[in-house]
Amino acid sequence: MQLGRLTAMAATLLLAAPALAQTFDFETVPVGAYAGQLVVAEGGQTLTVTPEGSPNGWVIVTDAVAMPLLGARSVVGSRTPDLRLDGFAPLRFTFAFPVDEVTFAFGDLGGDTDSPVVIEAYDATGALLGIHVDTYPDGYSAGKTATLAYDNAKYFIAKSLPGWNNHSLGWDILRSRVARNEVPEPDPALALLIGGGTVGLLLVRRRR
């Protein structure tokens, strides 16, 4: 009976692990320009970042945004492999598994307000789920967050409306939650930890 309970607990932990919030802050991604896309993984979830509306564009991991909210690094969309005032582009954030909630953090590189900031949410079919419009804070160095909650959102397009130096925003994802009806693969490290612990308990019980 005890063995059955231990096995059930281990299985429950494995299934529950992917539902934990994933953070994509790009702190461990090398600074540089990534042609076409940037792919990062965290806790069973995979995020693909692409420059929206720029087929030959670049995703740039930069440490140019010096604000506590974004930390040391963030991602920026660009039509060129370097950051130019006339070369910024919106970004698309696509999740391997749909999400029910995402919290974005953003900050301006150019010293202006880039207001308003617009984040569009779409499902896997490309249907628009909703649009979040945010006024950028007067103190651009402070940055800002925006939490969006939509069922089964597959990707988000983040941008600022056209204007001088538009889209010159650095982005992080502080939190994302996999949709309840999605079950990503469990984190291999967590699976190994739980599996090892279960085996250890079995050995202890056998010795007894």
pLDDT tens digits, one per residue of 58-88: 999 998 766 788 888 999 999 999 888 778 9
Query: Would 99 be classed as within a structural domain?
Result: yes
Q: Is the pLDDT of residue 35 over 90?
A: yes
pLDDT at residue 11, rounded to an integer: 44
To the nearest whole number, what is the mean pLDDT of the chain? 80
Distance CA 14, CA 8 (A): 10
Q: How confident is the model at residue 113 (pLDDT cuts 50, 70, 90)?
A: low
Residue 61 backbone phi and psi in degrees, to 5 = -90, 115
pLDDT at residue 208, rounded to an integer: 46
Q: Is the pLDDT of residue 110 over 90?
A: no
CATH code, domain with 141: 2.60.120
pLDDT at residue 86, rounded to an integer: 78
pLDDT at residue 115, rounded to an integer: 82
Q: What is the mean pLDDT of residues 150-173?
A: 87
pLDDT at residue 188, rounded to an integer: 55
What pTM did the predictor assign?
Answer: 0.78
CB distance 136 to 115 below 8 Å: yes
Distance CA 76, CA 112 (A): 15
Distances (CA, A) of 10 to 2, 7, 44, 160: 12, 5, 17, 45
pLDDT at residue 78, rounded to an integer: 92
Q: Is the pLDDT of residue 7 over 50?
A: no
Q: Is the pLDDT of residue 138 over 90?
A: no
Q: Which domain holds residue 123?
A: 20-184
Distances (CA, A) of 49 to 5, 57, 179, 181, 183: 41, 11, 19, 23, 22
Domain count, the chain: 1
Residue 21 backbone phi and psi in degrees, to 5 = -70, 135
Q: Is the pLDDT of residue 162 over 80?
A: no
